[in-house]
Structure 1
Amino acid sequence: MTDQTDPALDPLRARIASAQLGAEAEERGKVIAIADGLAMVDGLPGAELNEIVTFATGARGFVLTLEEDHLNVACLDPADDVAAGTRVTRTGLLASVPVGEGLFGRVLDPLGRPLDDGPLPDSEERLPVERPAPSIIDRDFVSEPVETGLLVVDALFAIGRGQRELIIGERQTGKTSIAVDTIINQANSDIISIYVAIGQRTSAVRHVIDAVREHGRMDQTIFIVAEASAEPGLQWLAPFSATSIAEWFRDRGRHVLIVYDDLTKHAATHRELALLSRQPPGREAYPGDIFYLHARLLERAAKLSKARGGGSLTALPIAEIEAGNLSAYIPTNLISISDGQIVMSQSLFAANQRPAIDIGLSVSRVGGKAQRATMKSVSGRLRLDYAQYLEMKMFSRFGGFGDEAMAARMKRGERIAALLAQPRLSPLDLLTQIALLSALNDGMLDDVDLAEIAHLKTKLPSMLANDSRLSDLDLRAPKLDHEKRSAILEVVQSALKQA
């Protein structure tokens, strides 16, 4: 017989004494039907929108829509063993994602689970994936630039911190390259970068990660990946989860850049889930809430007021079009929501003009207010001169120009095109961009061979950085003073002699 005074039993007695006895209620439902990652569930009257539920097989899902007599649950795990009659249990927890400094350099899925063979993220805090956008009173004016390192963007379509600039174009025209170059250019800035892959091929995502690892700063970058083989529920959650992660930093006064690659696939996933849940289809079979879906996502990007910490969240959503059709449903929705668009041109890409940005269709609606004054002072006529050159180039196919002034304008346009052409993964710092445009405006490049301009862009950054006369140059000044401008042009002249 066991000795009741045995001290070894004290922990057991304490557990028995602290046990909460009594009835415990638990809501249980069952699957009515399941197909293609969406389950119809009956019997969970208290479930909330975006609540996580678990199937008896161990798979999880979240409540996508609430219908009068059932729930539509989007699966977050493979549901091969889930069938009609499978028991479903509420968790009482809303879909959430881990946040914090421990996510830097990690590749995660939209629920924060590691995809890089590493441990679980070092984070004790989680945020719901759906959060309200900042109110108007909490926002501030967009007044600081996000420097992309791409001369054509920084000079003509400057992007401000807190802006939403859409990158749109046909397949394989360099949309993702612009976003990746922008992320890489933040290696020397205070901006945190988050890349969201929605329905992308595994190989394409790996190329992006490898490029950032080799040329950028992994310790300031986070990757949220829901690749093409992932469950539709994960693809649907991906942009919202990544935005919650970004908001954690923004709300603490930090500056964040987030790339959604791409929202066209996200819209297709939403359409797939909506049709499976028997929502009425509208234009192009998309449900009626497709505009609201992306509006509530992109409205979360903002520049906060000083009272809220002064942080910013800049969004670069990517959209794909077919046959150059900018008037399709999803592209027009995203254009109307965002603060400008960078339009990629298939013809320019085929002509080897990279980045292949169509300057006639592209615009930044607020970035000009955030552009550095020194950059603005040297890029004033660039867009007009380049547009005139492209128009003249099209008509020159029918014969040459006899007018010397027109020939000179064509010659200058060719130099502008050579300046704006830029290889991938080779961003230019702001001083180099200003130096190149200053030399162009002074006519220093008019007689330079086009091949030498590419060499000039390679040599110039180090020569400018090593010139002692430019060590105290303030690029935030309203304009360059005569002495600094002369020193910059002298460095350009020296670089041209070495090219």
Structure 2
Amino acid sequence: MPRDTTDALLQVLLDAPAPEPKLQEIGRVSEIGDGIAIVIGLARALVDELLDFGGGLMGIVFDQEPNRLGVVLLGPSGPVVPGSDVRRTGRVVSVPVGDALLGRVVDALGRPRDGRGPVGSDRQRPIEAEAPGILDRAPVARPLATGLKAIDAAVPVGMGQRELIVGDRQTGKTSIAVDAILNQRGTVVLCVYCAIGQRGDAVAKVIGAIRKGGVMDNTIIVSAGDEEAPGLSWIAPYAAMTMAEALAATGRDILIVFDDLTHHAHSYRELSLLLRRPPGREAFPGDIFYVHARLLERAGQFGARIGGGSITALPVIETQAENLSAYIPTNLISITDGQIYLSPRLVRRNQFPAVDLGVSVSRVGGKAQAPALRDVAGNLRVTLSQFEELEEFARFGTRLDDKTQQTLSRGAAVRGALRQPERDPMPADEQLAILVAAMAGLFDNFDEAKTAAAATAIRRAIRHANGETQELLGSGRSMTPEDRAQIIELARAAIEESVDGPVA
């Protein structure tokens, strides 16, 4: 380069204004533990601020004390040792949002876990957000069909509702949530499944079922496995809710599943105890109620001013020995708009889904339920409650009169009609026909195999009918005696054609 050109370039650089000084605050790691760190030297750091530990490891300011910060790590501590540098970022935890996430499997920070490359979204939102106020909400007035007879008829869920799925281990909680997602195939509802503290093989089975069911392209999977840092399990449901909120803001309906909040509470308790927070009942910190309330309050049916969409939440919680009065279950029952209780006693009787209608309740969804299904639901609960009460007495071998025998037979038939294999969600018109047939006594004295064959025959007949049952559900009117008689006649003919012998 000629000397004159070099001198001119140097002169331009000398005449240019000096760059602004860059202020950077650097602290040090004082202690390091399993999922947490104690940091000193960052007195101006804020609660929930992200700190950079280097090497891609980030942490969230969890506790502020004089001269020290309690930090939750969002990954394995790895090379971090006492004395390592820590830098402020001036940011809070944010995740990518938008349609680019549909069909993807990501972690709690929105990083891809499905081997399909980066998530193509340039929009980010903080994982913490204020729940919409009362004036920004609308009444729950539309049903969200799960495809399960025991739920859609007796414990209905409305769009914008928060319905808790609660039960002991291995009672089918995840199956109900997955079936609800599969039933959204062919609808406008988008789904978010958040796996918290689950084993990798369990999450893989759910992903496989969703893919096989053809709803993966309308679903976001957020996974924070049990082998990962507890900090990721702690922020996972908030990240999933943020992704759902971004979709709902465009006026769409979202179904979000948190599977499960027991693991979420345990991860929060673990972090709190490691950071020396005072323990309360069952060693949980005192703000555990607020931790879940501020998450679930973000769901609802929203008004037109904030997009007009909805977020329907199905949080899952695990009980031990059917103890519904434990700390976390009672907290969540008081936060949500009802619960679907899965009973181990019904599981032992091979009753799936094992929904105990005596304990399950929907405080909102009935207002969004089709009147025809609501008519059936009332009789269904009465029939089953009478049956279960008499069933206890019948075990003593007491001699029973004909009327009691008929009640027992009818109750067993109705309970059998509520059986449904997993991964087989059912349209509302088929559910209505099967339940009306069972309540009319068409399944009385059938064994399990015969009941399943009769239900299959009725479903086939409804599909080939002229659509009057579907019109009844869509019309918003109650079922007349003529409607009931027509459904019973159709079911009777279908059963007689498929099952040996005439139906009583």
Mapped partners of 1:478, 1:435: distance in 2:
16
* Counterpart pick for 1:136 among 106, 128, 134: 134
Q: Are 1:320 and 2:351 counterparts?
A: no
Amino acid at match of 2:326: A
The equivalent of 1:263 in structure 2 is 261
Amino acid at match of 1:132: E
**Displacement after TM superposition at 1:91 (Å):** 1.5
The equivalent of 2:217 in structure 1 is 219
The equivalent of 1:26 in structure 2 is 24
Mapped partners of 1:450, 1:152: distance in 2:
17
* Counterpart pick for 1:428 among 413, 426, 441: 426
| 2:195–2:203 Cα contact (<8 Å) kept | yes
| 1:191–1:257 Cα contact (<8 Å) kept | yes
Distance 1:242 1:469, change over 3 A: closer
Q: Deviations over 1:237-256 (max 9, x none)?
A: 00000000001111221111
- Give the SS at the match of 2:234: helix
Q: Alpha carbon RMSD of aligned pairs, Å?
A: 2.3
Q: Are 1:416 and 2:428 counterparts?
A: no
Spell out the pairing of 1:36-75 with structure 2 (5 A cutoff): 36-75=34-73
Higher mean alpha-carbon deviation, 432-441 vs 123-132, is at 432-441
Amino acid at match of 2:101: L
Distance 1:195 1:19, change over 3 A: farther
Mapped partners of 1:237, 1:181: distance in 2:
25
Q: Deviations over 1:345-404 (max 9, x none)?
A: 111111111111222221111111111112112222101111111121122111154311
Amino acid at match of 2:98: G
Q: Deviations over 1:185-234 (max 9, x none)?
A: 11132211111111111011111111111124101111000000111111
Mapped partners of 2:200, 2:13: distance in 1:
49
Amino acid at match of 1:498: S
**Displacement after TM superposition at 1:45 (Å):** 2.6
Amino acid at match of 1:138: D
* Counterpart pick for 1:470 among 468, 482, 486: 468
Amino acid at match of 1:101: D
Amino acid at match of 1:327: S
| 1:401–1:407 Cα contact (<8 Å) kept | no
Higher mean alpha-carbon deviation, 450-459 vs 361-370, is at 450-459
- Give the SS at the match of 2:183: helix
* Counterpart pick for 1:87 among 81, 85, 88: 85
The equivalent of 2:492 in structure 1 is 493
Q: Are 1:446 and 2:449 counterparts?
A: no
Mapped partners of 1:373, 1:424: distance in 2:
26
Mapped partners of 2:16, 2:306: distance in 1:
44
- Give the SS at the match of 1:433: helix
Amino acid at match of 2:404: M
Distance 1:86 1:485, change over 3 A: same
Distance 1:381 1:474, change over 3 A: closer
Q: Deviations over 1:11-55 (max 9, x none)?
A: x99999988613211111111111011011112233222222111
Q: Deviations over 1:229-283 (max 9, x none)?
A: 1111111000000000001111221111111111111111111111111111111
Higher mean alpha-carbon deviation, 348-357 vs 462-471, is at 462-471
The equivalent of 1:146 in structure 2 is 144
Higher mean alpha-carbon deviation, 171-180 vs 45-54, is at 45-54
Q: Deviations over 1:169-191 (max 9, x none)?
A: 11111111111111111113221
Distance 1:222 1:71, change over 3 A: same
| 1:429–1:461 Cα contact (<8 Å) kept | no
Amino acid at match of 1:315: A
* Counterpart pick for 2:196 among 174, 195, 198: 198
Amino acid at match of 1:489: I
Higher mean alpha-carbon deviation, 301-310 vs 110-119, is at 301-310
The equivalent of 1:76 in structure 2 is 74
Mapped partners of 1:132, 1:309: distance in 2:
16
**Displacement after TM superposition at 1:482 (Å):** 6.5
Mapped partners of 2:164, 2:425: distance in 1:
20
| 2:429–2:469 Cα contact (<8 Å) kept | no
Mapped partners of 1:474, 1:309: distance in 2:
31
**Displacement after TM superposition at 1:142 (Å):** 1.2
**Displacement after TM superposition at 1:3 (Å):** 5.9
**Displacement after TM superposition at 1:155 (Å):** 1.0
Spell out the pairing of 1:2-401 with structure 2 (5 A cutoff): 2=2, 5=5, 21-401=19-399
Distance 1:70 1:485, change over 3 A: same
Matched length? 496
Distance 1:317 1:16, change over 3 A: farther
Query: So what's the TM-score if we normalise by structure 2?
Result: 0.93
The equivalent of 2:478 in structure 1 is 479
Distance 1:347 1:53, change over 3 A: same
Amino acid at match of 1:331: P
**Displacement after TM superposition at 1:295 (Å):** 0.8
- Give the SS at the match of 1:159: coil
Q: Deviations over 1:126-168 (max 9, x none)?
A: 1100000010111111111111111011111111111111111
Mapped partners of 1:179, 1:91: distance in 2:
38
**Displacement after TM superposition at 1:485 (Å):** 4.9
Distance 1:15 1:92, change over 3 A: farther
| 1:57–1:82 Cα contact (<8 Å) kept | no
- Give the SS at the match of 1:374: helix
Mapped partners of 2:11, 2:487: distance in 1:
82
Mapped partners of 1:423, 1:437: distance in 2:
16
Mapped partners of 1:60, 1:19: distance in 2:
35
Distance 1:16 1:288, change over 3 A: farther
Amino acid at match of 2:367: K
Q: Deviations over 1:34-88 (max 9, x none)?
A: 1011011112233222222111343211222222322221111221211111000
| 1:128–1:244 Cα contact (<8 Å) kept | yes
- Give the SS at the match of 1:326: coil
Amino acid at match of 1:343: Y
| 1:258–1:314 Cα contact (<8 Å) kept | yes
Task: Give unmatched runs, 5+ long, in structure 2.
Answer: 500-504
